[in-house]
Amino acid sequence: MQDSATMENPCSLETIDKDELIRILIEALPEIREQLGLEYADLERATNIGAKRITAFEEGRQRPRWSEYLSLVFVLWRDEKGRGMVEEKGLFPEELKLAFSVNRNAH
């Protein structure tokens, strides 16, 4: 028997291509950060991911963990311009919104 959370939200994180989303983020992050006028220190404060680590993501020397991906996307998402860029790049697909039960009308 399924629990009520599973019945209400049939989308699961297991169906999301996390590797592909992380790849897209690594590619898009420098442009998004620049367009939003965010310094590495700004993202570090907002996500608790070290500025050197974020730099390493952008340079392809390190790969974000899934939790770091989510932190970065959620921080970018909270800004209206950032939300548009996140949507445009496909960084917060409907499947992920459903998995987190994000109501688009509430933002």
C-beta of residue 63 within 8 angstroms of C-beta of residue 16: no
For residue 89, give every residue at least 6 positions away whose Cβ sits within 8 Å of its Cβ, in sequence order, or none: 24, 25, 28, 32
Residue 105: predicted pLDDT: 58
Residues 6+ apart with CB under 8 A from 61: none
- pLDDT band with cut points at 50, 70 and 90 for residue 15: confident
Residue among 35, 33, 30, 59 nearest 46 (CA): 33
pLDDT digit string (tens) for 17-74?
999 999 999 999 999 999 999 999 999 999 999 999 999 999 999 999 999 999 999 9
